[in-house]
Every structure is written in structure tokens, then in C-alpha cells.
Copies of this chain bind each other. A is one copy, B any other.
């Protein structure tokens, strides 16, 4: 497989950097080809502005998504965006690796999504979910958090992880057409001991050995929705965050 890892951590000595190094070693040993977009190292610009466009269909009033499509068609996108689109369309597996900040990706990674997931290539003209531009690819969230596992239960302080990650896993990755593998989460990284952090590295390597056989998360295909964009009668509703609350103690 061709694997693109989009990585968002500033510190070369961080746990996230160790996780990245381990994944590159493991993926390479498995015979996969790996490319990395190390966003801080690249000083990637996350801010979507008119400067992203060498041409303008509507010069008087910026409509960012419409200019994405027009500039893609005319080869006039900013070169940093074009380079990332090339990597994205090259890969079979997209890994987003980041520390969970405020229940989401750091801004530098959100900007990578905002600017690189362009209208006309990744979505648009009705293409989304299983008809999205990344159709046929797999994707995976790899994240770390200071939160304890119990905090991420549906009755935990943070809330169910599938709810917390819904905008990323459903709204970005599945929407763009990817099959989304279960996330790999390193919990309470600030507080665990060295042995536990090593176990996380081993657990991640083990997960990477199952990439091709792992069962993706379920997201409804586009055909499950009616003309009103709601699930057709007879199709069971999604269960994200709607399942039974995690078992209560006491």
C-alpha cells in the first residue's frame, strides 16, 4: 500500500514523533511505501485566502469553494496545495496523526483539510461519502490525549469518542470517500509511565499489521438517503452516540 501520513506535532522529542517513527519503520518493514506531510516542519500555511488562487472565476467576491474548483480545473491552485493534492490522490491509506486539542485537530491540520480537500477533486457535483473523490482509499485517525479512557465513555467527562471524532471521521474522511478504520488513541499520555508509552508504540505497530484486514467503521452510503437527505424508510439509523450508554457502576 501507498501510505500518506499527515503529521501535526511541533516537537521532535515528543511521544507523537516516536509514534510516527515507529509507524514508518513498521509500514516500511511490511512492504508499504510511506510519504509524510510533516505540517509544522513544512511550515504549512493553514489559512484559506484568495492568495490560494492564481485565477478567479468571480473576481469581485471570494467564494472559496467555487474558486477551488475553478483553479483546480485551470491548474492555478497555489503550489503548496497542488503538491498535497498529488500526495493525497497517490495514497491508498491516509493517516491523520495529531494530538487531540480542544476535541479536534490542531489548527495547522484543520487548514490542511480546508485547503487540500478541494471542491472538484475530493467532493462536489453531488459526489460524497462512497461516491467521494477519495473513494477506494482507507483512512485512519491516530491521536493522543491527556484524557483517561473513562472520560471518553458516553457518560464520561469528554463524551463518547465516536461523537468527539464525528466531524473528523464522518465529516472529513468518510464524506471525502474514505473507508475509515477504527482510530488508534493513546490515552493520558501526559500521565502514564515510560513502560505504558512503549506499550502504546507496540500496540500501534500491531494495529498497522492489520491495516488490510481491519473492518472499517460504518457510515451510511449515499444511496441510503432519500431526496430529503434523510435515511430512507426501512434503513436503520446510525448509532453514533446513540447506542446504549456505557455500563454504569454502582
Contacts and interface: CB of A to CB of B under 8 A. Distances in A.
B114 A106 contact: yes
Contact of A171 (B60, B104, B245, B249): B104
B242 A230 contact: no
Interface string A40-64: 1000001111100000000011111
Contacts of A170: 103, 159
A89 interface: no
Interface in A172-225: 172, 175, 225
Interface in A10-61: 10-11, 13-14, 40, 46-50, 60-61
A153 interface: yes
Given A61-B11, A167-B167, A233-B250, A110 B104 contact: yes
A228 interface: yes
B48 A148 contact: no
A49 to B, nearest CB: 6
Contact of A242 (B60, B150, B241): B241
Contacts of A14: 61-62
Nearest to A47: B108
Contact of A154 (B47, B48, B62, B237): B237
Contacts of A230: 150-151, 153, 155-157, 246, 248-249
A159 B250 contact: no
A84 B47 CA distance: 18
A220 B39 CA distance: 36
Q: State how many copies of this chain the complex holds.
A: 2
A150 B47 contact: no
The main secondary structure of chain A at its interface with chain B is loop
A31 B223 CA distance: 51
Contacts of A164: 166-167, 171
A1 to B, nearest CB: 25
22 contacts: A10-B62, A11-B62, A46-B47, A46-B108, A47-B107, A48-B108, A101-B114, A102-B114, A102-B171, A103-B175, A107-B108, A156-B225, A156-B231, A159-B240, A167-B167, A228-B249, A230-B248, A230-B249, A233-B249, A233-B250, A241-B241, A242-B242
Interface of A: 10-11, 13-14, 40, 46-50, 60-64, 101-108, 110-111, 113-114, 117, 148, 150-151, 153-159, 163-164, 166-168, 170-172, 175, 225, 228-234, 237-238, 240-243, 245-246, 248-250
